[in-house]
Amino acid sequence: MSKAARLALLIAPGVDASEASRLVTRLNLPLLDAATDPATCLDYDALLVASADGLSLQRTGRAAPGPVSVDFGSARMRHRRGAGHNELLGRAVGVGKKPVLRVLDATAGLGRDSFVLADLGCQVLMSERVPLVSALLRSGLERARSSGDPWLQEVSGRMSLWEGEARDLPANRLSDIDVVYLDPMFPELGKSAAVKKEMALFQSLLEGSGRDADQLLLWALDLGVARVVVKRPPRAGNLAGRQPSHAITGKSVRYDVYVKRKLA
C-alpha cells in the first residue's frame, strides 16, 4: 500500500442517520454507495465500513484479508488476560502501588494496551489523534459497553477517550493523571501473515505519526505525573536520548520507566 492510503466511507443500510452524518463530517472521506463491494472497489486502498455492528476497516481487492476493528471481547484479547506480557506492562506502570491508578495512554491506537491496563484495575484515559483510528476506537468502546457481557462492561467503564492530540488535553483532564504511557508504533515481528497485513494497513494510516515521539516524551516528562512509561522494541535506543530510571524487558518488548516520584 502506498504511504498515503486512499480511503473512503461505506455506510451500510440500518446505520443510524445521525451517526452516519457525524462520521461524514468528522472524517471528511468520500462517501460510497451502500451497495459497493470492497472486493471489486479498486479506486481505494481501504474502506471504513459502518454497519449495525460498528466500524471496521476493510482493505479492498479480492485477495484482501478480513476487516480490522476494535473488538475488546475477541478471543485474542481474552487470551491476553493470562499472558506474561500483561504482568510486565502492569509492573511498568506501577499496578498495585496505588489503590486507583490513573493512566493516560497518549498514543492509544487500537486501544489494546489501554484495555489490558483497565482490566488490571487502572482508570485509563486514551488519546488518539488520527481521526479514523479514534473513530474505530470509539466504536469498539461503545460496543463493549453495550455488549451485555459483565466483564466487558466493567472494564470498558474504566476507560474514556479523547479524540485528539494528547498535548491538547486541557489541564483539568491531566491534573489527576499518575502515569503517562507511550507506545510509538513499531512492527510486530515474527507474527502471522494476517497480523503483518493488519499492521501494514494500520501503519499506513499512521504514516509519520511516530516522528515526534521524542517531543511527546519530553512533553510527558514535563507534566506533574509520577512516572512515564515508553514501550520499545528490546534493542531500540532510548527516546530523545533520555536514560530511563529502569527498564522491564521481555522477549519481544521493553518498557522504559521514567520515575519522577512515588506513586503511593
Q: Which of these ranges, 59-68, 112-121, 231-240, 243-252, has the smallest mean pLDDT? A: 59-68
Query: So what's the pLDDT on residue 187?
Result: 47
- 225 and 179 Cβ atoms separated by less than 8 Å: yes
**pLDDT one-digit tens code per residue, 165-216:** 999 999 999 999 999 999 986 544 445 555 555 566 666 665 545 568 999 9
Query: Nearest Cα to 57, choosing from 70, 68, 43, 44?
Result: 68
Partnered with residue 249 across adjacent β-strands are 254
**pLDDT one-digit tens code per residue, 116-165:** 999 999 999 999 999 999 999 999 999 999 999 999 999 999 999 999 99
Query: So what's the pLDDT on residue 83?
Result: 66
- Give the C-alpha separation, 88 to 76, whole Å: 18
Q: Which is higher by pLDDT, 3 or 244?
A: 244
What's 75-259's CATH class?
Answer: alpha beta
Phi and psi, residue 32, nearest 5°: -95, 160
Query: So what's the pLDDT on residue 5?
Result: 77
**Other Cβ atoms within 10 Å of 250 Cβ, number:** 14
Query: Nearest Cα to 64, choosing from 81, 82, 44?
Result: 44
Domains in the chain: boundaries? 7-59, 75-259
**Other Cβ atoms within 10 Å of 42 Cβ, number:** 11
State mean pLDDT over 21-28.
88
User: What percentage of the chain reaches a pLDDT higher than 90?
Assistant: 70
What cell does 110 get? 487500537
**pLDDT one-digit tens code per residue, 80-106:** 877 666 889 999 999 999 999 999 999
- Give the C-alpha separation, 120 to 113, whole Å: 11
Q: Is the pLDDT of residue 3 over 60?
A: no
Interior angle at CA 120, CA 155 and CA 196, nearest 5: 85
Confidence of residue 114 (pLDDT cuts 50, 70, 90): very high
Confidence of residue 1 (pLDDT cuts 50, 70, 90): very low
Measure CA 138 to chain center: 10
Q: Report the DSSP pairing between strands 246-249 and 7-11.
A: unpaired
